[in-house]
Structure 1
């Protein structure tokens, strides 16, 4: 499978490269665009501040330019938190998208969004400070209405970015379960 994997608001941390290596070891081709031009942040607030300073349009332009050379192959879009929101936006705009793997985040979608039979898998902490129960319920219904085939996996007690071993949110068991399930999802595509 061809996968484009977007980093979180922390930037292109080592955990992103490690995730890409995990996916490559399972036989996938993976690209990890750097939307922040090498900047890595120590707090989510710093990263979100930089994201906001760049602006949504600039970040989406960078993401589209990074994914475009590979989109003809039929991509699985994936991302961590902020990167998951980017991945979702691109996947819903790409009629050749093969799947969408969301780790720790989602994004709103337009009323006229179309995701005809797009396989979607979301992995999220429970509770998650950025993905409330009400938000996830509404997001799920909007994605289903758009035509997506959605699976949600929740990890009770895990922190928001629980797959990053260098962050306080890290939860080894939840991370292991997430990667096992995500690899099965990718194999099913």
Structure 2
């Protein structure tokens, strides 16, 4: 079974992120949830982003993700939720041992940390179609890199969810969608199989 690094979103390592990790673990996997904020939690995404900026920006988050990857050398899958996608992509591009990268509620350009996406690293992207945080940039980008019947060689598999809730997979948020979260977890289990 897979060892997975799951990087949290801008609210911090919430109980909802831990609950999502437990749902993924129910498939027989081990999920590590590094705390990129050293215990800080926020109730508003914009407050969380302000905290990231106070730490030194997203580069600091990416470097924290690299340190977490070094602490878990047995991990072969890396995942991120929203802001955590930055850390996940940095690790997926820099650590050859990662065989899959799972992006939830966010995406960064595939060449953000290396000129080309690692061809041996599968990518699964999960985005809410009406999410104001992803509609303008992340969703069009995901659609452009997602494999289709016409072009099956693109690196990503994209799953879209009909909701406007950015963190629908986090049970500690108001926008939590239990049914959508079950679908997301099932799709992650299918990838890991």
TM class, shorter-length: 0.7 to 0.9
Check conservation: 1:79, 1:101, Cα contact below 8 A.
yes
Candidates 160, 169, 180, aligned match of 1:174? 180
Is 1:42 the equivalent of 2:43?
yes
Where 1:154 maps in the other structure, the secondary structure is strand
Check conservation: 1:119, 1:148, Cα contact below 8 A.
no
Q: Are the structure 2 counterparts of residues 141 and 92 from structure 1 closer, same or farther at C-alpha, using a change threshold of 3 Å?
A: farther
Question: Which has the larger share of helix?
Answer: 1
Spell out, residue by residue over 1:49-88, the C-alpha distance to the aligned partner (whole angstroms, 9 max, x if none).
00111122322222111111323x3520011111123212
Check conservation: 2:75, 2:98, Cα contact below 8 A.
yes
1:114 is displaced (CA, Å) by 2.7
Asked which structure has the greater RCO (Cα within 8 Å, sep 6+), the reply is: 2
Check conservation: 1:127, 1:133, Cα contact below 8 A.
no
Structure 1 runs of 4+ aligned residues shifted over 6 Å read none
In structure 2, the residue matched to 1:24 is: 25
Instruction: For 2:32 and 2:138, locate their aligned partners in 1 and report how far apart those are by CA, in whole Å.
Output: 29
What is the TM-score of this pair, normalised by structure 2? 0.86
What is the TM-score of this pair, normalised by structure 1? 0.87
Where 1:130 maps in the other structure, the secondary structure is coil
Where 2:13 maps in the other structure, the secondary structure is coil
Check conservation: 2:24, 2:188, Cα contact below 8 A.
no
Spell out, residue by residue over 1:122-174, the C-alpha distance to the aligned partner (whole angstroms, 9 max, x if none).
11111221212554333454577xx7631111111241110112212212221
Q: Are the structure 2 counterparts of residues 133 and 96 from structure 1 closer, same or farther at C-alpha, using a change threshold of 3 Å?
A: same
Check conservation: 2:127, 2:139, Cα contact below 8 A.
no
Where 1:179 maps in the other structure, the secondary structure is helix
In structure 1, the residue matched to 2:12 is: 11
In structure 2, the residue matched to 1:100 is: 101
Candidates 130, 135, 153, aligned match of 1:132? 135
Instruction: For 2:137 and 2:67, locate their aligned partners in 1 and report how far apart those are by CA, in whole Å.
Output: 33
Q: How does 1:124-163 map to 2 (within 5 A)?
A: 124-132=127-135, 135-141=138-144, 149-163=155-169
Instruction: For 1:94 and 1:143, locate their aligned partners in 2 and report how far apart those are by CA, in whole Å.
Output: 22
Q: Are the structure 2 counterparts of residues 135 and 23 from structure 1 closer, same or farther at C-alpha, using a change threshold of 3 Å?
A: closer
Q: Any unmatched runs of 5+ in structure 1?
A: none
Q: Any unmatched runs of 5+ in structure 2?
A: 148-152
Instruction: For 2:68 and 2:154, locate their aligned partners in 1 and report how far apart those are by CA, in whole Å.
Output: 24
Q: Are the structure 2 counterparts of residues 65 and 159 from structure 1 closer, same or farther at C-alpha, using a change threshold of 3 Å?
A: same
